[in-house]
Structure 1
Amino acid sequence: MIGRRKPIRRAFAAAAFALWLGILLAGAPSAALAHAELERSVPEPNTKYEQSPKEVELAFNEAIEAKVGSLEVLDDKSRRVTQSDPVPSADHRTLKLALPKLGEGVYTVSYAIVSADGHPVSGSYVFVVGNPPQGVDASAFDPHKALGHEGHGAATGLTTNQFIIYAVRSLYYAALLWTAGLMFWGLAAGNRGEALANIRKKWEPIALRTQLVAVLLYVFVHAREILKGYPSSDYGKLFLDTAVGKEWIALAALALLGFLLVRLHPALRALWAGAMLAVESWSGHAAVFSPKYATVLFDFLHLASGAVWAGGLTLLFMLWLKERKEAGRFAALFSKAALLSLMLLALSGVGMTLLFLPSLKYLFYTAWGTLLLVKTGLVVLVLGVGGTLHLRIRKGGLPTGALLRADAALMVLIVVVAALFTYVSPLPANEPVTYHQMGEKMHLSFRVTPNKAGVNELTVKVWLPDAVGAAKSAELRLFSLDRKELGPIEVPIKPFEDTELTDFEGYAKTAYKTEGPYVPFAGRWEAEIRVRDKDDNETVQKVDFRNY
């Protein structure tokens, strides 16, 4: 019996020790089990600064692991603004990240750290520098807004009803590039034989007349389309009070001025051609994006390169039909200029695409992207034809009719595609988020308006059963589904008196909203909405949405 008592005593002793240890741990100060929390941040969350802050500083309530985790600042395209590493303070409670000079925009501070007790802590918040413009989407290309019109929307696809517009645009771009190219080659080719001079003398006036007709048709059909369904008195407003109307007047005036310059020095004619292309560059998609000087410059180089190719190919083809030997001499000059033009055409096109689109994935979101891919394929074919033509000329041979016809056909196709995709928006249209979910325990409504990167109004409406009572609180957090490593952005929604007639019998409604730059960059997002009732029972609802 005595031998059996020893194991029993040991078991009781072990149980007593475990109980004593549990009481000791339970009675320990709560801070010993606490995780690191953000106590102070500079820049402060959800604030606006007139000047760029010099650094980001995050202060925590306890020490953190200095070599584990991350602190980064993202711009409105979710790109890191600096590759520098954060520097911890001596007590490891503060992290500092030096910043370059930031331009106007919405910026996201994202941190993911590990506290000294080994627990991960993450979060994100936004701040604003200056007065950044609203995010760009298809609505930015809608000229109706300048006239105060609503309900038209920007073109994001192709329809058969727009056939006339696209036909006129094809004529306009073909005439613009053809005429400008002839003027450029008048300066570049100089006096290279009587046959070339006669061809230029014959075709330059024809090109000018074609261009004038094309410009007038271009302006007429687009003005008619914009003002469809509106009074004729708005025509004056369109041409005198909007940027696009003034640019159309400039195009028409320059087209008329060309007739006065056709007999003057080739340098003046080339300068006039450059002015025509510059006006077109300033009135296209390039004028909407930032930095404007870069997009407009790329667009001008793109048009000028196309003009040199189109004008030179026209002269070469006409010479080939009339005087083969002189065509061979001109072909040596044209082949070099054409290859250089095609290289500039490709480089400027890539530059504009990278500036227009947040990522290359957007090529698959709209008809614009599809047409650009088609155009890219055609340019690759042109490079093949042009390279073959160049090699043939270098070996002393004459350009063949088949190569010239293939080059001309590809040029026509590229001009037509360009006319189409310069009318279609590069970016998809954003639609406001309007989510509503009915349920036995809760009805929930969530809105984001206008649902663009930048400042939005976010609204949450909650209906709880009368037996439960009105909601005690609601919290809203946004997670980036494209950058899952980023911490959640806390959105400070506050109750407001909702006057909309959205009541449900047997349910008590509570409405919350806020306005600010809480969607800092375009992409896929998840809204996490946490609702607490008066008994602190929590219901969580998640809503996915995206913007461009």
Structure 2
Amino acid sequence: MQTIAPRSRTARRARTGMPRLLRLLLVIVAATGAFLAGAAPASAHAALTGSDPKQGAVVPKAPDQVKLTFSEKVAMSDGSVRVLDPSGKRADTKKTTDLGSNTYGVKLRPGLPDGTFTVAYQVVSADSHPVAGAFTFSIGAPSDTKVALPDQEAGGGLVGVLYDIARYFSYAGFILVVGGAAFVLGCWPRGAGVRPVQRLVTYGWVTLTGATLALLLLRAPYTGSGKLADAFDMGKLGDVLNTKTGAALVSRLLLLAAAALFIAVLFGAYEKRTDPKEKKDLTFGLAIGGSVVAIGIAATWAMAEHASTGLQAGLAMPVDVLHLLAVAAWLGGLATLLVALYRTPSVEEAAVRRFSRLAFTSVVVLAATGLYQSWRQVGSWSALTGTSYGQLLLVKVGLVVVLVGVASISRRWTGRIAAEAGGLAPEAAAAVVVEQRAAVVVEQRTQKPVTVPSGGADARRSAQLARQRAAMASAREKRVRDADPHRSGLRRSVLTEAGIAVVLLAVTTILTTTEPGRTEEEAAKATSAAAQQRSGPLTLKVPFDTGGQDGRGTVQLDLDPGRTGSNDLHIYVKRPNGSAFDIPEVKVSFTLESKDVGPLPVAPDHIATGHWSASGVQIPMAGDWKIAVTVRTSDIDQVTVKKNAQIG
């Protein structure tokens, strides 16, 4: 059988060729790590689409409860929603209720004071990602508040980075275990006895197991406080085990125990079998058992992440499992082939051809499942180009296209190997290679040994001559190996594939922590619909009290037509009894804090008793505007009252 002989097992070659490969791979992994570390914290996969009271609303009296509506179902426990009064004290009963239709409520304590209240929430979306945010509403009138919320987003900070790294290595470990085992069983049975291949698959198992344990420990701080110390809180770990994600991670650990037994048999009893019938039967058994374990491990991702929620979840989960297995068979087999080309004395050309067919089948499966997943998660052309998920998906598709292009080059190098040695048949070409290698060995053995007397200096000289002779022998064998451009080309193209695959895996990991484009657009539409419930001119009534004699009243603002562009503003000031109140001065300003716009001052003209107006008031963009009204009732008594309103 024809062999591809990339390297001998000499210590010299292990010290020269492989470090270059390792350095290249380390650079790629380091760049990937920087890419992951520089990524933004995991985006929420559920969005707050409405609340009661609404954000920025001023209600005349305290409601019985605060309601929050999300774009999809979320996991919420007691304490997930906090309502804080202006002094920063808890104003809720700490008990949350599922009200149905993705709406959740938390009851408020009786006897709450007037002022601005802050609602802070931190929940977990149906696909396992943390969601956090806050908004305010006021009872009676807006006021100052002492509430200071943490700047860190849910899933961010050091814990978020560590969680994403563990997620990346869990994918990498799965690919090496499943893909390496598939390569050995389906393409290169002799590889079961090759030590570097054994180490690759074993290291993949260790990586996946360690990453899964890290994900399990980091889960509590990742979805909760964000403090690394909480990873070792056994009480919070127990809470994690009762969640869908916790159950998936524990199931993965149990399946990895079965995978350890599979690896032991593959590299033990299977490798030692010499009877063809026994080996065939064992191959069949390992293929069935390994497939069941691989499908089970892949399902632990499908049951807890994107595929488990949203549109057609019953179909999406098995498609996701098939997608993961195809990725592992392709990229894991590629990594195993790379190790075989660089770290083993020979690999059969037939094995490379079998893997080429396996990789082609995997790409076809990836294309079909990926197309369905893209439609399901994106849903529209606008989401494909206008959302972070869609843009990342385009990057991933581009990398896959490049990877397939490089793989086609590898296939061509594989085809050329059969024509090596002057167009000889594969068997004859193999004979030429063996003859060349045998000639080197004969030359080494026929050289007369150098005899030197024993002694300290002579012993050192003898050792030096031995090292020189070993180096010369390695150089001769290297020239024989490198004389074949087809094998060198195959090694380079496979190494390039592996480098692209590392980056592709990083992009895929980030993609799993990014809000799907379909969800983002649906949440935006729901939020927009809620904001546009008001129609016609905007009317606001705000009570004021300057603190002086005859300093109380109500100011009413009418903004017509109440949208972006030019508006007419009318201001009416009335006493508590409803009569017109003529005061020395009234001023208005508009601020859009989310866009750092404003304050935009407006100086209205006095029209009649208690009536001021201004024409051409420009509202440059739609949003939740803060409207500040300054009322002066005497030379020294004045107050500024504020209220939020959706304009545009």
- TM-score scaled by length of structure 2: 0.44
Residue in structure 2 matched with residue 402 of structure 1 by the alignment = 492
Residue in structure 1 matched with residue 223 of structure 2 by the alignment = 226
Q: How does 1:249-398 map onto structure 2 within 5 Å?
A: 249-264=250-265, 265-267=285-287, 268-323=289-344, 325-395=346-416, 396=418, 397-398=486-487
Change (3 A) 1:301 1:168: same
The question of whether the paired residues in 1 share the 8 Å contact of 2:187 and 2:355 is answered with no
| Partner-residue secondary structure (3-state), 1:283 | coil
Q: Distance in 2 between matches of 1:172 and 1:347?
A: 24
Change (3 A) 1:194 1:443: closer
> Which of these residues, 399, 419, 444, is aligned with residue 509 of structure 2?
419
Q: Over residues 362-394 of structure 1, what are the superposed CA-to-partner deviations in whole Å (9 max), with x where a residue is unaligned? A: 123432222211111100100100111112212
Change (3 A) 1:355 1:194: closer
Residue in structure 2 matched with residue 182 of structure 1 by the alignment = 180
CA displacement at 1:331 relative to structure 2: 1.3
CA displacement at 1:356 relative to structure 2: 1.9
| Partner-residue secondary structure (3-state), 1:154 | strand
Residue in structure 2 matched with residue 214 of structure 1 by the alignment = 211
Q: Distance in 2 between matches of 1:410 and 1:374?
A: 12
Change (3 A) 1:149 1:185: farther
CA RMSD of aligned residues (A): 4.0
Q: Distance in 2 between matches of 1:208 and 1:336?
A: 25
Q: Over residues 269-301 of structure 1, what are the superposed CA-to-partner deviations in whole Å (9 max), with x where a residue is unaligned? A: 232122101221221101012211221122112
Q: Distance in 2 between matches of 1:272 and 1:544?
A: 56
The question of whether the paired residues in 2 share the 8 Å contact of 1:212 and 1:252 is answered with yes
Change (3 A) 1:225 1:147: farther
Residue in structure 2 matched with residue 533 of structure 1 by the alignment = none
Q: How does 1:13-52 map onto structure 2 within 5 Å?
A: none
Q: Distance in 1 between matches of 2:70 and 2:352?
A: 44
| Partner-residue secondary structure (3-state), 2:310 | coil
Change (3 A) 1:406 1:227: same
Residue in structure 1 matched with residue 634 of structure 2 by the alignment = none
CA displacement at 1:229 relative to structure 2: 6.4
CA displacement at 1:422 relative to structure 2: 0.4
Change (3 A) 1:243 1:158: closer
Residue in structure 2 matched with residue 29 of structure 1 by the alignment = none
Mark the structure with the bigger radius of gyration.
2
Q: Which amino acid is 1:414 matched to?
A: L
| Partner-residue secondary structure (3-state), 1:363 | helix
Residue in structure 2 matched with residue 237 of structure 1 by the alignment = 239
Change (3 A) 1:378 1:148: farther
Change (3 A) 1:445 1:274: farther
Report which stretch shifted further, 153-162 or 296-305.
153-162
Aligned residue pairs: how many?
322
Residue in structure 2 matched with residue 520 of structure 1 by the alignment = none
Change (3 A) 1:418 1:229: closer
Report which stretch shifted further, 409-418 or 229-238.
229-238
CA displacement at 1:441 relative to structure 2: 8.2
Residue in structure 2 matched with residue 524 of structure 1 by the alignment = none
The question of whether the paired residues in 2 share the 8 Å contact of 1:178 and 1:307 is answered with yes
Q: Which amino acid is 1:403 matched to?
A: S
| Partner-residue secondary structure (3-state), 2:131 | coil
Q: Over residues 449-491 of structure 1, what are the superposed CA-to-partner deviations in whole Å (9 max), with x where a residue is unaligned? A: xxxxxxxxxxxxxx9999xx9xxxxxxxxxxxxxxxxxxxxxx
1:202 paired with 2:207, answer no
Q: Over residues 411-438 of structure 1, what are the superposed CA-to-partner deviations in whole Å (9 max), with x where a residue is unaligned? A: 1011111111101211325447446734
The question of whether the paired residues in 1 share the 8 Å contact of 2:403 and 2:500 is answered with yes
| Higher-helix-fraction structure | 2
Identical-pair percentage: 20
Q: Distance in 2 between matches of 1:177 and 1:136?
A: 35
Residue in structure 2 matched with residue 166 of structure 1 by the alignment = 164
Change (3 A) 1:424 1:154: farther
CA displacement at 1:347 relative to structure 2: 2.2
| Partner-residue secondary structure (3-state), 1:400 | helix
Residue in structure 2 matched with residue 55 of structure 1 by the alignment = none
| Partner-residue secondary structure (3-state), 1:344 | helix
Q: How does 1:97-116 map onto structure 2 within 5 Å?
A: none
Question: Which runs of 5 or more residues in structure 1 are unaligned?
Answer: 1-133, 447-462, 470-505, 508-542
CA displacement at 1:211 relative to structure 2: 1.4
CA displacement at 1:239 relative to structure 2: 1.2
Report which stretch shifted further, 178-187 or 207-216.
178-187
The question of whether the paired residues in 1 share the 8 Å contact of 2:307 and 2:320 is answered with yes
Q: Distance in 2 between matches of 1:544 and 1:354?
A: 34
CA displacement at 1:443 relative to structure 2: 6.4
| Partner-residue secondary structure (3-state), 1:262 | helix
